[in-house]
């Protein structure tokens, strides 16, 4: 097996705070993520999800432990400023609130912002901005004012801005939490696209179980520690554990579990609606 | 106790400028007394503009807002009184916490209403109980609480004004599944115990189906559908045409029906869908 793209070893983080009951936001977390993987991170409020994201992007420095990205130890003190910049470019981030991450007054300027900071030649900027906008269906809005766009459109501009910097990994920190159903779908489609077509590694933090079901793998955090790590169907099988950790399972999975509890035989995994319809339809045919 | 009636209401953003947009277009609506009414609609459909009409934050350009039968703009100078009668909990209300202690923060509204100290105390305690906040938290700084607790304090601050109508904009946004359920259960209990009118704006069809009596669907500044929750969710095609959806349980039954199974697609929750599907096995 090849070296993992991201290797997290025994990672801990303690926020500086005077209170007595201050416990670490992350404690002894170890995790390996391969290149091109799509990993969803679940966990209750305060479980350490966002802290993990900030550590990966070097917004925070760990109290203990190591993070190695693409062979480089990003927690090493010997890191030069150039290394830091290049690593930040490697790992992009899209946040929750669409209104807090757009800085320019015109959409295309916003997408160009990161590139300008990197000192990229202007004709290259032009090319990358157009490409990123077109990839995420926002080219026709290039000259629009960001504040007049819908939430889903704003998030797609944010995604285009991150993607224009050609990151190898993008972290989404509850990027759909403030969107309506259509906006959520737009953003999720974009995430799947950059993962499947551009082979970008995706780490998606979410509270929505049906979004997590789209990932290759789900990591569940509880009180700063790893609780479960597995494929969506493996994770959703552990219903009791998830409920105890303040989480839930998708409604369709819950329904299949309850049908099974009542003695109906349903063979196979169920993480989404299509699985559920298929399982039920097949089992009735057999009867 | 009161209901809200909206008559022929229109409102424009940036009226009189080249950027003028019709945000609400001749809306007529009745919010029933003592019920939980949900409002859904995509971003920019006019939901937030509509709820800001209920307590007079915005003034209609034409039409009327009747609170318990009274036009709220009849005496514009008295609009402040309307704001105490209709309590509006904004999105992410915890960002508006500002006092030194939880108690003071919850007491801020009643204090502004000019109530006496003992009345304020009664309001604060009642609101804290409704919001499931123990009195041990009263002397703590609201900023030392968890996200879910902060949100509860912010909601208690509005409930403490004993509003006839409580309006909440996305009360569960950003909370984990357990926090979501807890907040909604609080709201339902509050409605049952107080008998007051509640309006909830949300993007979650599952939550709306589970907790609301009535449902209003907005699109492009107009009311697209309104009525009892079950009735509104029976129009899956109309909802999908404006970027909305039906709850997952309903979607599942619709999918089974399209595969030729004989199911009633009126189910909105997992429990109801389960009953329908079990019937398939028994036949």
Mean pLDDT in consecutive groups of 10 residues from the start of chain B, 283 residues: 91 90 95 96 89 94 95 93 93 90 96 95 95 92 86 95 95 90 94 95 93 96 95 94 91 93 91 92 80
Q: Residue B244 in 3-state DSSP?
A: coil
Condensed to tens digits (0 to 9), the pLDDT of residues A116-137 reads 988 899 999 999 999 999 999 9
Q: What is the b/e burial string over A182-217, where b = at least 16 CB atoms within 10 angstroms of the residue's CB?
A: bbbebbbebbebbbeeeebbbbbbbbbbbbbbbbeb
Residues A206, A45: contact at Cβ < 8 Å?
no
Q: Which two tokens stand for residue B231?
A: 């009735």
pLDDT in the model for residue A150: 83
A273 with B176: Cβ contact below 8 A = no
pLDDT band for position A151 (50/70/90)?
Answer: confident
Which phi and psi angles does B216 have, rounded to 5°? -115, 130
Work out the average pLDDT over A236-251: 95
**In terms of CA atoms, which chain B residue is nearest residue A97?**
B174
Binary contact (A151, B43; C-beta < 8 A): yes
Q: What tokens does B143 get?
A: 């900023």
Question: A106 pLDDT exceeds 80?
Answer: yes
Structure tokens at A108: 């295309």
Tell me the sheet residues that pair with B27.
B9
- For A:189-248, CB contacts with B below 8 A are 207, 209-210, 246-248
Contact B252 A46 (CB under 8 A): no
Q: Does A1 touch chain B if contact means CB atoms closer than 8 Å?
A: no
Contacts of A206 in chain B (CB under 8 A): none
Sheet containing B165-169: order of strands:
B86-89, B165-169, B197-201, B36-40, B214-219, B222-228
Assigned CATH topology for domain A6-103+146-233: Rossmann fold (3.40.50)
List of chain A residues whose C-beta atoms are within 8 Å of the C-beta of residue B180: 207
A174 vs B contacts (CB less than 8 Å): 174
Flag if B205 and A248 touch (Cβ within 8 Å).
no
What ipTM was reported for this prediction? 0.83
Task: Give the nearest partner residue to B176 out of A44, A179, A252, using CB atoms.
Answer: A44
Residue of chain A whose Cα is closest to the Cα of B145:
A46
Closest C-alpha to B138, from B119, B125, B122: B125
What is the pTM (predicted TM-score) of this model? 0.89
B79 neighbors B72 (Cβ within 8 angstroms): yes
Cβ distance of B177 and A273 shorter than 8 Å:
no
The 10 Å Cβ neighbour count of residue A124 is 10
> Which residues on B lie below 8 Å from A47 (Cβ)?
176
The pLDDT value given to residue A32: 96
**A120 inside 8 A of chain B by CB:** no
- Which residues in chain B have Cβ-Cβ distances shorter than 8 Å to A207? 174-177, 180
* pLDDT at residue B282 in the model: 82
**What ranges make up the beta strands (E) of chain A?**
6-13, 26-33, 38-43, 64-69, 72-73, 91-94, 169-173, 201-205, 217-222, 225-230
Q: Are the Cβ atoms of A19 and B144 closer than 8 angstroms?
A: yes
Contact A209 B177 (CB under 8 A): yes
pLDDT in tens, A54-96: 999 888 999 999 999 988 898 888 888 888 888 888 999 999 8
- For residues B105 and B79, give the distance between their C-alpha atoms in angstroms, rounded to a whole number: 23
CB of B110 within 8 A of CB of B104?
no
* A-B contacts (CB, under 8 Å): 107
- The domain ranges of chain A are 6-103+146-233, 250-287
Beta strands B4-13; B165-169: pairing state: unpaired
Q: How far is CA B49 from the centre of its chain?
A: 13
Q: Domain locations in chain B?
A: 4-235, 247-283
Look at A46 and B144 and tell me if their CB atoms are within 8 Å. no
Q: Is A71 on the interface with B (CB under 8 A)?
A: no
What is the percent of chain A where pLDDT is above 90?
70
Question: What is the CB neighbour count within 10 angstroms for residue A83?
Answer: 15
Domain B4-235 has CATH 3.40.50.12140: no
A99 and chain B: CB distance < 8 Å anywhere? no
Are A255 and B43 within 8 A, CB to CB? no
A111/chain B closest Cα distance in angstroms: 23
| Chain B contact set for A259 (CB, 8 A) | 274, 277-278
Task: Name the strands in the sheet holding B4-13, side by side, starting at the edge strand that comes first in the sequence.
Answer: B21-31, B4-13, B62-67, B70-71
- All residues of chain B having their beta carbon less than 8 Å from the beta carbon of residue A147 are none
Q: Which two tokens stand for residue B68?
A: 């318990």
């Amino acid at each position: 097996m090849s070296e993992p793209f991201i290797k997290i070893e025994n990672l801990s983080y303690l926020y500086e705070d005077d209170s007595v009951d201050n416990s670490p936001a992350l404690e002894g977390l170890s995790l390996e993520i391969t290149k091109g993987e799509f990993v969803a991170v679940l966990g209750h409020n305060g479980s350490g999800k966002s802290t993990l994201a900030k550590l990966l992007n070097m917004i925070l420095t760990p109290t203990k432990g190591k993070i190695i990205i693409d062979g480089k130890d990003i927690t090493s003190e010997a890191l030069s400023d150039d290394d830091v910049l290049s690593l930040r470019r490697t790992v992009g981030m899209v946040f929750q609130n669409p209104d807090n991450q757009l800085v320019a007054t015109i959409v295309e300027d916003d997408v160009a912002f990161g590139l300008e900071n990197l000192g990229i030649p202007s004709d290259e900027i032009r090319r990358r901005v157009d490409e990123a906008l077109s990839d995420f269906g926002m080219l026709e809005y290039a000259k629009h004012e960001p504040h007049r766009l819908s939430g889903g459109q704003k998030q797609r501009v944010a995604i285009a801005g991150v993607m224009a910097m050609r990151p190898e990994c993008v972290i989404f920190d509850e990027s759909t939490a403030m969107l309506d159903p259509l906006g959520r779908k737009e953003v999720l489609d974009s995430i799947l696209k950059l993962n499947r077509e551009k082979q970008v590694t995706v780490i998606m933090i979410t509270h929505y179980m049906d979004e997590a079901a789209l990932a290759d793998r789900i990591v569940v955090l509880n009180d700063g520690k790893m609780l479960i790590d597995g494929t969506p169907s493996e994770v959703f099988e552990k219903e009791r554990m998830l409920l105890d950790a303040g989480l839930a399972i998708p409604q369709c999975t819950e329904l299949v579990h309850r049908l099974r509890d009542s003695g109906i035989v349903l063979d196979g995994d169920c993480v989404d609606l299509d699985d559920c319809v298929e399982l039920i339809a097949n089992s009735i045919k057999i009867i | 106790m009161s209901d809200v009636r909206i008559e022929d209401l229109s409102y424009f953003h940036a009226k009189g400028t080249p950027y003028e947009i019709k945000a609400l277009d001749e809306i007529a609506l009745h919010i029933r007394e003592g019920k939980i009414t949900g409002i859904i609609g995509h971003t920019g459909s006019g939901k937030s503009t509509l709820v800001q009409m209920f307590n007079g934050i915005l003034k209609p350009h034409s039409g009327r807002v009747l609170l318990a039968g009274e036009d709220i703009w009849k005496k514009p100078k008295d609009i402040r009184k309307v704001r105490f009668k209709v309590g509006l909990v904004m999105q992410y209300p915890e960002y508006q916490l500002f006092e030194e202690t939880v108690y003071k923060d919850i007491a801020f509204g009643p204090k502004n209403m000019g109530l006496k100290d003992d009345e304020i105390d009664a309001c604060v305690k009642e609101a804290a109980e409704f919001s499931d906040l123990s009195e041990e938290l009263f002397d703590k700084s609201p900023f030392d609480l968890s996200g879910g607790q902060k949100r509860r304090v912010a909601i208690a601050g509005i409930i403490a004004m004993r509003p006839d109508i409580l309006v909440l904009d996305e009360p569960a946004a950003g909370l984990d599944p357990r926090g979501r359920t807890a907040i909604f259960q609080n709201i339902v209990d509050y409605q049952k115990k107080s008998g007051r009118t509640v309006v909830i704006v949300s993007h979650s069809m599952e939550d709306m189906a589970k907790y609301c009596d009535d449902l209003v669907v907005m699109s492009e500044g107009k009311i697209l559908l309104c009525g009892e929750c079950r009735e509104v969710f029976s129009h899956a095609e109309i909802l999908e045409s404006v970027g909305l959806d039906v709850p997952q349980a309903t979607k599942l039954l619709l999918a089974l029906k399209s595969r030729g199974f004989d199911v009633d697609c009126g189910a909105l929750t997992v429990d109801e869908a389960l009953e329908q599907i079990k019937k398939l096995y028994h036949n």
